[in-house]
Amino acid sequence: MVPDGQPGKGRYGHNNPQNNNEEAPGASAFTLPWGYQNGAMFNNLVVFQQYCQKYGKSHDGLAPLCLNLRRNGLLTPWSYYSLFEPYQLSREDYLNGRVIEEPMVIHDCDRPINTCAAFIFTTAERAKDLRQKPVYVLNHAQNNGAGRSTMATLDEHQNAVASLARKMEEGSGLGIEEVDIFNPYDGYLTFTQQFLEGFQWHGVKWGEAHDFYADDIRVEGPHPFLSSGGNNGTGRNRSVLFSDSIEQLRGTAGARQVTVKAETALAGCNTPDSCGFLMMSKYPS
């Protein structure tokens, strides 16, 4: 893995012409001059602030999640951090990280890298005799919601994920209590709680994600949330959410292999208001 052509490098925004544009044409006149450069980052940060106000939480509550994602990423041999920055973050490192958009710090953001992944899809009949154990796709569902404005709200994000959760349950025939592995998108840690609470994995309700993060979410523990290390722990590739789910169901995740039952997995990306998920299983039905 060679991020941006330079070992040890990872950068944001150099492929975005808006960064170098001397003008703000069209609808961008209402966003770019006011600091709204990156929709996913800024938009979800505002929603995160609404979340903290509504539920009495703070940015500090994300620290256990960030540290565990880095830990899981370091258990992934090909990850950016295993290859180029093989050390674990401390809580102090996280809390004192460079501010990107207050209160978001650099460690809340996935690191851009150049990488790729390939997945082979075929029929269950063809897959059953292959050398590698097949993993079966039970359902796919997607949300592409259009918000009421350029700026989303907490209610819109929560409603979108709750709607997606219903689609996944109806399409797969599995309730969330039957999902063993959960790898939702974590491009910015300020929105990851929307997936955890919207799907209610391991019984987590609205406003309870930070308390869940403070519990045992290690791969060895009872709540192995984002066993992949996510984009935050491995580098922005998104495919790790699916590759780890497959490896967990096959029992080939190595040092990341969970100790709980691993027969079903739910994974997807991107942001809460526009995302798609797959439900996977060791068994065809």
In a domain, 24, yes or no: no
**Alpha-carbon gap, residue 192 to 109, rounded angstroms:** 11
Please tell me whether the overall predicted TM-score, pTM, comes out greater than 0.85 for this model.
yes
Q: What is the pLDDT along the chain (285 residues), one digit of tens a residue?
A: 444 444 445 555 555 666 667 888 887 788 778 767 665 667 778 899 999 999 999 999 999 999 999 999 999 999 999 999 999 999 999 999 999 888 999 999 999 998 889 999 999 999 988 899 999 999 999 988 777 877 889 999 999 999 999 999 999 999 999 999 999 999 999 999 999 999 999 999 999 999 999 999 999 999 999 999 999 999 999 999 999 999 999 999 999 999 999 999 999 999 999 899 999 999 998
Residue 27 inside a domain? The answer is no
* Domain tally, the chain: 1
Q: Is residue 99 part of a domain?
A: yes
Domain annotation covers residue 23: no
Q: Compute the distance between CA of residue 213 and CA of residue 68 in angstroms, rounded to an integer.
A: 9
**CATH number of the domain residue 136 falls in:** 3.40.47.10
Within-domain flag for 39 = yes
Structural domain containing residue 162: 35-285
